[in-house]
Amino acid sequence: MNKTITLKINNKTITTEENSTKRLLDFLREDMDITGPKEGCGEGECGACAVIIDKELVNSCLVTIGSVQEKEITTVEGLRGTKQFDILEKCFAESGAVQCGFCTPGMIMAAHALLSKIPKPTESDVREGISGNLCRCTGYNMIINGILMAAKRGDGLW
């Protein structure tokens, strides 16, 4: 019999009887209908499924729900409405950081995780910070400009 698992997702406490080996990505998407995290590769290479777990950027396709109990899990849906999200959203718009948008929720999470650790990043910090998130449309540079712009404008927020 499955034990009850308790998860904290986007500031809500969720209990589930699902198998503890279920991938966090599947739990978010199938059980919670949280579809901001996307499946791009299923093997931790592309970052489209990236979420923040206790301040760390993590690919949710590589994590089982049993391993993240009692931890704070944040997806792009949980970031919506925050001041940090607003700034990232505007700066991504102005810099033209979004094309097909499939990598974007993951990129937003990567940007937020990076700025939370390094509020005033250099260009090279940003390149490092999003190096685990693949984008096939933009060639990255406009995303990098967006994140640098957000760091500048959101001075003090992160």
Partner 1 sequence: MDDIRKSVIKTDHKIKVDGSAKYIADIKFKNSLHAKTLRSEKAKAMIKNIIIPELKDGYYIVQGKDVPGLNKVKVIQNDMPIFSDTEVNYIGEPILLVVGPELKEIIEILNEIKVEYEEDIPVFDMREAKDAFAKYEYEKGNIKDAFKKASRVIEEKFYTGYQEQAYLEIQGVVGSYEDGKTSVYGSMQCPYYVKNAVIQALGCSEDEVRIVQTTTGGGFGGKEDYPSLIGSQVAVAAYKLKKPVRLILERIEDMSYSTKRHPALLKYKSALDEHDNIIGMDVDITLDGGAYATLSSVVLQRSLLCAIGVYNIPNIKVNGKVVKTNTPPNGAFRGFGGPQSTFAIETHMAHVANEIKCTPLELKNKYFVKTGDNTSTGGKFSYDVKLEEMIEKAEEISDFSDKYKKYSNEKGIIKKGIGMSIFLHGCGFTGSGERDFIKAKVKLLKSKDGIVEILVANTDMGQGLHTTFKKIVAKVLDKNYEDIIYKNPDTDRVPDSGPTAASRSIMVVGKLLERAALRLKENWIERQEQIIEENYKHPDLIPWDIEKFNGDAYPSYSWGVNVVEVEVNTITASTQVTGIYSVFDIGIPIDETIMEGQIQGGVIQGLGYASCENMERKDGRLKQHSITDYIIPTSKDVVNIKNVLVDNPCDLGPFGAKGAGELTLVGTAPAYADAIENALGVKVNKIPITPEWIMEAIVNE
Binding site for partner 1 (CB under 8 A): 29, 33, 35-43, 45-46, 48, 75-77, 80, 85, 88-89, 92-96, 98-105, 108, 126-128, 130-131, 133-144
Q: Is 43 left (phi over 0), alpha (psi -120 to 50) or beta?
A: alpha
Residue 105 or 154: which CB sits closer to partner 1?
Answer: 105
Between residues 80 and 153, which has the closer beta carbon with respect to partner 1? 80
CB nearer partner 1, residue 68 or residue 109: 109
**Shortest distance in whole angstroms from residue 153 CB to partner 1:** 15
Give min distance, CB of 55 to partner 1, in A. Answer: 20
Q: Do the Cβ atoms of 63 and 73 come closer than 8 Å?
A: no
Considering the complex, state which of residue 2 and residue 6 has its C-beta at the smaller distance from partner 1: 2
- Which CA distances in Å does 110 have to 15, 59, 75? 27, 10, 11
Cα 11 to the chain's mean position, in Å? 15
Rounded to whole angstroms, the Cα distance separating 36 from 76 reads 6
Minimum CB–partner distance for residue 121 and partner 1 (Å): 12
Helix (H) and strand (E) counts in the chain: 6, 5
Residue in the structure block whose two tokens are 């910070």: 129
Minimum distance of partner 1 from residue 9's CB (angstroms): 14
